[in-house]
Amino acid sequence: MGEEANCDAVMEAGNGNGKAKENGHAVAAMPDVKADDAVVALADPRLQGISDAIRVVPHFPKPGIMFNDITTLLLRPGVFKDAVDMFVERYRGMGIAAVAGIEARGFIFGPAIALAVGAKFIPLRKPKKLPGEVISETYVLEYGTDCLEMHVGAIEPRERVLIVDGLVATGGTLCAAINLLERAGADVVECACLIGLPKFKDCYKLNGKPVYVLVESLEYEK
């Protein structure tokens, strides 16, 4: 049984307390697969390669934060391709009509996934970044609010949409993306992230939508 969270109860930022574990890498996570596929997933060498390529920077951008830096992965085209391929293998054949990428790391993986599965790409941007008419969704942070926007008309009613981001910590931004797309009439299929806290690897859901991650982020010591 996976864990489910209500979007209204989730905030984007953690409190940053605790001393970070400094091993310099993210941790490979077992993908969300059926029991029959578990052995194959555990044996997939691409997961460890992806994990090893992500640099973890302690206490950035402020003390207590473990920053998962994906720029080191992007410098290794073979590993970058492996990450994209693993997402594509999961979503090809699922009738995905649109991939919605969250600013900014969702813009790195989202377009590549969209092209490979034959879907359009929709950027979900911070306020005042998109010209023309937009639809907006405001969400709560630890110390304020933020907002996602997309173009009016980007989604057709009942289109199947995959949401893509680089990292999920508490899920606040993903919740906002789900709400925004559903208000526009989309059928959100799943949220896909390269990196996630360990709780997100085991069929975790946000407002009933599955969250799929490739690699676990480091946790803080309590």
Say how many CA atoms lie within 13 Å of 78 toward its Cβ.
4
List C-alpha distances in Å: 3 to 32, 138, 193, 198, 207.
Answer: 13, 24, 17, 12, 11
Q: Assess contact for 13 and 173: CB atoms under 8 A.
A: no
Active-site residue flag, 105: yes
| CA angle (151 as vertex; 145, 157 as ends), nearest 5 | 105
Choosing from 90, 105, 149, 216, the catalytic residue is: 105
Per DSSP, what are the bridge partners of residue 196?
A: 168, 216
Catalytic annotation, pick one of 3, 142, 156, 158: 142
Q: Which residues pair with 120 in a beta bridge?
A: 98
Give the CA distances from residue 12 to residues 8, 76, 88, 119, in Å, rounded to whole numbers and listed in that order.
11, 29, 27, 28
92 is a catalytic site residue: no
Q: What is the distance between the alpha carbons of residues 127 and 174, in angstroms, rounded to a whole number? A: 16
The whole-angstrom separation of Cα 108 and Cα 167 is: 12
Query: Would you name the residues annotated as active-site residues?
Result: 105, 142
